Amino acid sequence: MTPLSPELLRRYDVPGPRYTSYPTADRFVEAFTDTDYGQALEQRKAGPAALAMPLSLYVHIPFCESLCYYCGCNKIITKHHERAAGYLKYLAREVDLHTERLGIGQSVSQLHLGGGTPTFLSDEELGELMSMLRRNFTFAPGGEYSIEVDPRTIDGQRLQALWGLGFNRLSFGVQDFDADVQKAVHRIQPAEQVFKLVEQSRAIGFESINVDLIYGLPRQTPESFARTLEQIKDLRPDRIAVYAYAHLPERFKPQRRILGSELPPVPDKVTMLSQSLNTLQEAGYVYIGMDHFALPDDSLAVAKRQGRLHRNFQGYSTYSDCDLIGLGVSSIGKVGATYSQNAKTMEEYCDLIDHGRLPIVRGLALSRDDLVRRAVIMAIMCQGQVTFESIELAWLLDFREYFATELETLKAQQEQGLVVVDDTGIQVTAMGWYFVRAVAMVFDKYLQADRNRARFSRII
């Protein structure tokens, strides 16, 4: 691959969406209410999707015992574990509000517990949560049932308990094994601890183990991150997510504790990204796209080969057609041609449920243009290519005419070696994968009309 020039790095060192959805969540409006969301649920119940398409569930557990300075998640820092019991009661009531509209027993093929720290809950509380979900939904055999795990909150006995509750996939938050970096972000967890947990997880029988890494953290260098990547090769999880750190201290108060002077410069971040791509692919991992890697026999890699890859609010996914029900504070869902988000504060979330209302505070009903552009952007983000004919057949339009302005804009990216555009479609190049978000941004109608992008993380 041609080396990345300083000019190209400067040009694309700009903020941009990660496209876990299109339109992006910042486009949600308060005019979309719980009534609109309720109608979407009822339409699903009455339509063919209720029988043909299983649901995906996301449950947000906001509690954490300690603060990680890099974190931009919706969280509540507390050592008072008794708070979880009250939260579980509200989750149960939120599920009741859903089943009133959906009916009981809809099929679920995916479940993900995120946070926060889901393992903040005790084994008994996690059991209570899973029992409640199973009473209201039918969990399909062979589904993906995952939970995010903070290695500092778990041991072999707890892993066995999670397996017994029906979880078959784990995601460990590692970020970086370097002790100096861990100190800078206030998250100390020795590599030996993670290695032991992964070994125990495999012995128990978990189908897939994911590890999250972050590059661009304070005190990171290409040399230190290379050592972490070598350790990850030895750990050999089934999936690896390598995220770029998004430094947005104006939005996320904890990040103000990170010294800007300790953040690696852009060329070093690009080197770390390049190291990740080279090291992990040489180790036998399939590059799924943007920030995800998987072993060749993992379902994510299989979906990539078969063209079934999708992005949702948790990142890359194997279930492209699932409606997603988001439960808990700040959760985001997708039902039919709508997006919706729950209240972001515990007080508002509980108050809405106390008044018998679904805790939706904003969302969006997608237009036809939104749906067309979503198809194009997801093809870029997931497959690295767009075939004109497939979009034209699906949406009954002339691609070159509909996207004439966008194709003209892409000429500059083609000259820079990021894409190849011919008579059949658009192909992202090996170099273009570094800047795939910038390629997708060309088709973002909202972004082109709004140049205030500071709310997004930087592309590199």
Distance in angstroms (rounded) separating the CA atoms of residues 117 and 79: 12
Q: Say yes or no: 222 and 105 in one domain.
A: yes
Residue 414, CA distances (Å) to 7, 340, 402, 410 in order: 15, 36, 19, 6
DSSP lists the bridge partners of residue 147 as 113, 170
pLDDT in tens, 328-376: 999 999 999 999 999 999 999 999 999 999 999 999 999 999 999 999 9
Is residue 341 domain-resident? no
- Mean pLDDT value across the chain: 92
| pLDDT level of residue 1 (50, 70, 90 thresholds) | low
Residue 92, CA distances (Å) to 27, 108, 133, 136, 206 in order: 29, 17, 8, 10, 27
Q: Which among 301, 327, 353 is the end of a domain?
A: 327
Q: Say yes or no: 294 and 421 in one domain.
A: no
Distance in angstroms (rounded) separating the CA atoms of residues 16 and 40: 30
Q: Is 215 annotated as contributing to ligand binding?
A: no
| pLDDT level of residue 273 (50, 70, 90 thresholds) | confident
Q: Say yes or no: 313 and 385 in one domain.
A: no
Q: Say yes or no: 267 and 376 in one domain.
A: no
Q: Say yes or no: 13 and 70 in one domain.
A: no
Q: Is 115 annotated as contributing to ligand binding?
A: yes
Q: Is 69 annotated as contributing to ligand binding?
A: no
Q: Say yes or no: 1 and 29 in one domain.
A: no
Q: What are the two backbone dihedrals, phi and then psi, of residue 18, each rounded to the nearest 5 degrees?
A: -90, -10
Is residue 356 domain-resident? no
Contacts of 146 (CB under 8 A, 6+ apart): 111, 112, 113, 167, 168, 169, 170, 171, 208, 210
Q: Determine the pLDDT at residue 321.
A: 67
The least confident of 18-22, 37-41, 188-192, 346-350 is: 18-22
Q: Name which residue leads in pLDDT, 307 or 362.
A: 362
pLDDT in tens, 87-134: 999 999 999 999 999 999 999 999 999 999 999 999 999 999 999 999
Is residue 342 domain-resident? no
Can you spell out the DSSP letters for 22-55? SS-GGG-BTTS-HHHHHHHHHHHHHSTHHHHS-E
Is residue 281 domain-resident? yes
Q: Determine the pLDDT at residue 252.
A: 87
Q: What are the two backbone dihedrals, phi and then psi, of residue 290, each rounded to the nearest 5 degrees?
A: 55, -75
Distance in angstroms (rounded) separating the CA atoms of residues 149 and 229: 20
Show the CA angle centred on residue 383, arms to residues 377 and 389, nearest 5°: 70
Q: Determine the pLDDT at residue 50.
A: 59
Q: Is 19 annotated as contributing to ligand binding?
A: no
The total number of structural domains that make up the chain: 2
Residue 205, CA distances (Å) to 4, 144, 166, 307, 341 in order: 42, 14, 11, 28, 35
Is residue 348 domain-resident? no
Q: Say yes or no to pLDDT of 267 above 70.
A: yes
Residue 20, CA distances (Å) to 17, 43, 130, 383, 426 in order: 8, 24, 26, 14, 20
The arithmetic mean of pLDDT across residues 243-262, rounded, is: 89
Q: Determine the pLDDT at residue 312.
A: 78
Q: Say yes or no to pLDDT of 151 above 90.
A: yes
Q: Determine the pLDDT at residue 454.
A: 54
Contacts of 390 (CB under 8 A, 6+ apart): 379
Q: Say yes or no to pLDDT of 280 above 70.
A: yes
Is residue 346 domain-resident? no
Q: Which among 271, 304, 327 is the end of a domain?
A: 327
Query: 26-35, 42-51, 448-457: which has the highest mean pLDDT?
Result: 26-35
| pLDDT level of residue 455 (50, 70, 90 thresholds) | low
Q: Is 68 annotated as contributing to ligand binding?
A: yes
Q: Say yes or no: 235 and 276 in one domain.
A: yes
Is residue 340 within 8 A of residue 360, CB to CB? The reply is yes
Phi-psi region of 240 (alpha: psi -120 to 50; beta: other; left: phi over 0): beta
Q: What 3-state DSSP class applies to 67?
A: coil
Is residue 355 domain-resident? no
pLDDT in tens, 59-86: 999 999 999 999 888 899 999 999 999 9
| pLDDT level of residue 250 (50, 70, 90 thresholds) | confident
Q: Say yes or no: 139 and 253 in one domain.
A: yes
pLDDT in tens, 172-216: 999 999 999 999 999 999 999 999 999 999 999 999 999 999 999
Q: Say yes or no: 5 and 51 in one domain.
A: no
DSSP lists the bridge partners of residue 325 as 57
Q: Is 187 annotated as contributing to ligand binding?
A: yes
Q: Say yes or no: 303 and 449 in one domain.
A: no
Q: Say yes or no to pLDDT of 453 above 80.
A: no
pLDDT in tens, 394-435: 999 999 999 999 999 999 999 999 999 999 999 999 888 878
Q: Determine the pLDDT at residue 440.
A: 96
Q: Determine the pLDDT at residue 430.
A: 84
Q: Say yes or no: 270 and 417 in one domain.
A: no
Show the CA angle centred on residue 12, arms to residues 6 and 14, nearest 5°: 125
Q: Determine the pLDDT at residue 195.
A: 97
Query: With 0-12 CB in 10 A as exposed, 13-18 as middle and 19+ as buried, what is 186?
Result: middle
Q: Determine the pLDDT at residue 451.
A: 55
Q: Which among 327, 353, 381 is the end of a domain?
A: 327
What residue has token string 């589904």? 143
What's 379's domain CATH number?
1.10.10.920
Q: Is 64 annotated as contributing to ligand binding?
A: yes
Q: Say yes or no: 13 and 25 in one domain.
A: no
* Domain of 375, in residue numbers: 1-17+368-460
Q: Is 152 annotated as contributing to ligand binding?
A: no
Contacts of 187 (CB under 8 A, 6+ apart): 66, 68, 69, 175
Is residue 337 domain-resident? no
Q: Is 116 annotated as contributing to ligand binding?
A: yes
Structure tokens at 182: 């861990």
Q: Determine the pLDDT at residue 388.
A: 98
Residue 33: HSE in the Cβ half-sphere, 13 Å Cα cutoff: 4
Is residue 367 within 8 A of residue 27, CB to CB? The reply is no
Torsion of Cα atoms, 80 then 82 then 87 then 92, to 10°:
160
Q: Is 73 annotated as contributing to ligand binding?
A: no
Is residue 111 within 8 A of residue 59, CB to CB? The reply is yes
Buried b (16+ CB within 10 A) or exposed e, 255-286: beebeeeebbebebbbbbbebbbebbeebebb
Q: Name which residue leads in pLDDT, 254 or 200.
A: 200
The arithmetic mean of pLDDT across residues 141-150, rounded, is: 94
Q: Report the residue count for the chain.
A: 460
What's 240's domain CATH number?
3.80.30.20
| pLDDT level of residue 320 (50, 70, 90 thresholds) | low
